[in-house]
Amino acid sequence: MTLETVIPSLRSTLYQHVDPAAWPLTTAPAPGGDLAVGGAALTELAARFGTPATVLDLDDVAARLRAYRVALPDADVAYAGKALLCAGLVPLLVEAGVRLDVCSGGELALALRAGMPADRIVVHGNAPTEAELDAAVTARVGRVVVDSLDVADRLAAVAARHRRVVDVLLRIAPGVDAGGHPAIRTGGDDQKFGVPLAGGRAAAVAAAIAGRRALRLVGLHCHLGSQIADTAVWERAVDPLLDLAAELPVALTELDLGGGHAVTGGTPFDVAGFARRVTGAIARGCSSRGLAPLRLGVEPGRAIVARAGVTLYRVQATKCAGSGRWFVAVDGGMGDNPRVALYGAAYDAHLVGRTTCAAWRPATVVGRYCEAGDVLARDVALPEDVTVGDVIAVPGTGAYHHAMASSYNLVGRPPLVGVRDGVARVLVRRETTADLLARDCCLPRSAPDAGSWDDEAWCGGVVLGRD
């Protein structure tokens, strides 16, 4: 039984404001006004693991991976690890038979250590370091997406040193504006990703790459942005990319259209419809240009994990501002969810763990950080008797929360807790104060006497210059 199937019975309770589409697939009511995810009650998880904590429904992740494989059986589906990557997710990716996109040496190292086959790893990045390129070549990853001729030449030099040939995709900026916040539009002409088609620049770079003996140009790549709901946006990118493919001196085999599939709004993204329309557009476009059929590649990230995540907070204070706005302050904030400050992302928030007959009231849920922009959810409906100690749950936090979390104000990052069949386990532990202090090389091994300055005690044996 899920939240969606029982929603009529919840109309008269606390959950009249819950939108089932925003919550993990296994969400269900629990006794005492609670909700359960993956068979585990949220307030019990908050008590056991502390707050803030992000809960990840592993069954939800597995179901969405299966949905992509079913809708796109002949495509290369690659999960975009930048959305959320931890070792606990890798077995789900392997089981689903998908690839994994990584965009740093750290992500690559984690993927390999966690058991992702190297030939199913795709390495991205507009400015990879020499060490990262070397790690990719050494590991024999399946694909490297190059973003410029400079990156291609550096990769070719590394590959030649290892006496290997690397399969590459060239990232193109096709000049397609997908709309949305400027920070998440990546398919236009005026942004840092990809080689522009204008002026023949993409054709020149592609031809140059095709001439590098250590590189094998196998396809073109683009990523148009995030939270795109209209499949026509990807269809508009197909023709200019195929025009470029038809100009090249090598026969390509792949066309990767990236990710960005929307997860917000009332209508779920139609993966099957996307598959039908985009594969049709590619087939028609290849046929009309005399090209061999190109294999479609897609890179869903947010669409796989966003709705699988729920972050739990505990209320620390409530107050009314002079403007009349009611603030509910919790023990997390922009350190674990910077997306509201970065993009103006919208979230909902819900009291869990008790029922109430109190009236509903617009509230702005804010965090503990020293920034006026530290907001988690604006003008959400909460009962007016919310008080210190209550647990607040924010759904839709599986993507770009754990991945983008920081230790601003020297507050440790929260844990990531996986739930499945009533069993909860820590996937990534909470960052402690000891973790934060361990990186500071100038802290004393023990507190020095007041008023003294002992270089060796303060700096771990590294003597620093004095003013």
**Is 64 part of any known ligand binding site?**
no
Region of 270 (left: φ > 0; alpha: ψ -120 to 50; beta: rest) is beta
**Is 260 part of any known ligand binding site?**
yes
Cβ atoms within 10 Å, residue 401: 26
**Is 400 part of any known ligand binding site?**
yes
| Predicted TM-score (pTM) of this structure | 0.90
User: What are the catalytic residues?
Assistant: 370
For residue 36, what pLDDT is reported?
97
Contact indicator for 194, 173 with CB cutoff of 8 Å: yes
Beta carbons within 8 Å of 189's beta carbon, 6+ residues apart: 173, 175, 196, 198
Burial 438-465 (b: 16+ CB within 10 A, else e): eeeeeeeeeeeeeeeeeeebbeeeeeee
Contact indicator for 21, 266 with CB cutoff of 8 Å: yes
- Select from 99, 107, 100, 110 the least CA-distant residue to 128: 107
- The amino acid at 362: P
**Is 339 part of any known ligand binding site?**
yes
Question: What is the maximum span of the chain, computed from C-alpha positions, in angstroms?
Answer: 80
**Average pLDDT, stretch 303-315?**
97
Region of 125 (left: φ > 0; alpha: ψ -120 to 50; beta: rest) is left
Helices (H), 269-318: 271-289, 302-305
Beta carbons within 8 Å of 326's beta carbon, 6+ residues apart: 318, 319, 320, 361, 362, 363, 364, 384
Beta carbons within 8 Å of 304's beta carbon, 6+ residues apart: 61, 64, 65, 68, 79, 83, 399
pLDDT tens track for 395-419: 999 999 999 999 999 999 999 999 9
All structural domains of the chain, each given as residue ranges with its CATH number in brackets, are 3-57+306-429 (2.40.37.10), 59-305 (3.20.20.10), 432-467 (no CATH)
Q: In what order do the strands lie in the sheet with 40-41?
A: 28-30, 34-37, 40-41
Region of 451 (left: φ > 0; alpha: ψ -120 to 50; beta: rest) is left
**Average pLDDT, stretch 231-241?**
91
pLDDT tens track for 4-33: 444 444 433 444 467 888 899 999 999 999
**Is 343 part of any known ligand binding site?**
yes
Beta carbons within 8 Å of 207's beta carbon, 6+ residues apart: 248, 249
Cβ atoms within 10 Å, residue 2: 14
pLDDT tens track for 358-381: 999 999 999 999 999 999 999 999
pLDDT tens track for 109-151: 999 999 999 999 999 999 999 999 999 999 999 999 999 999 9
For residue 269, what pLDDT is reported?
84
- Select from 329, 290, 305, 271 the least CA-distant residue to 397: 305
Banded model confidence at residue 267, pLDDT cuts 50, 70, 90: low
Burial of 266 (0-12, 13-18, 19+ CB in 10 A): exposed
**Is 295 part of any known ligand binding site?**
no
**Is 107 part of any known ligand binding site?**
no
pLDDT tens track for 151-198: 999 999 999 999 999 999 999 998 766 444 444 444 446 666 789 988
Q: Are strands 40-41 and 34-37 parallel, antiparallel or unpaired?
A: antiparallel
For residue 450, what pLDDT is reported?
52
From CA 345, how far away is CA 378, in angstroms rounded? 10
For residue 40, what pLDDT is reported?
98
- Select from 50, 133, 122 the least CA-distant residue to 93: 122
H or E segment to which residue 364 belongs: strand 360-366
99-108, 188-197, 435-444, range with greatest mean pLDDT: 99-108
H or E segment to which residue 440 belongs: none
From CA 32, how far away is CA 199, in angstroms rounded? 64
Which one-letter DSSP state was computed for residue 16? Answer: G
Q: What is the 3-state secondary structure (H, E, C) of 92-148?
A: HHHHHCCEEEECCHHHHHHHHHCCCCHHHEEECCCCCCHHHHHHHHHHCCCEEEECC
- Per the structure block, which two tokens stand in for 14? 């606390």
pLDDT tens track for 192-225: 678 998 888 999 999 999 999 999 999 999 998 8
- Per the structure block, which two tokens stand in for 82? 């930048």
SS3 content of the chain, % helix, strand, coil (to 5): 35, 25, 45
- Higher local confidence (pLDDT), 261 or 12: 261
The backbone torsions φ and ψ at residue 99, rounded to the nearest 5 degrees and listed phi first, read -85, 175
For residue 461, what pLDDT is reported?
45
**Average pLDDT, stretch 431-439?**
95
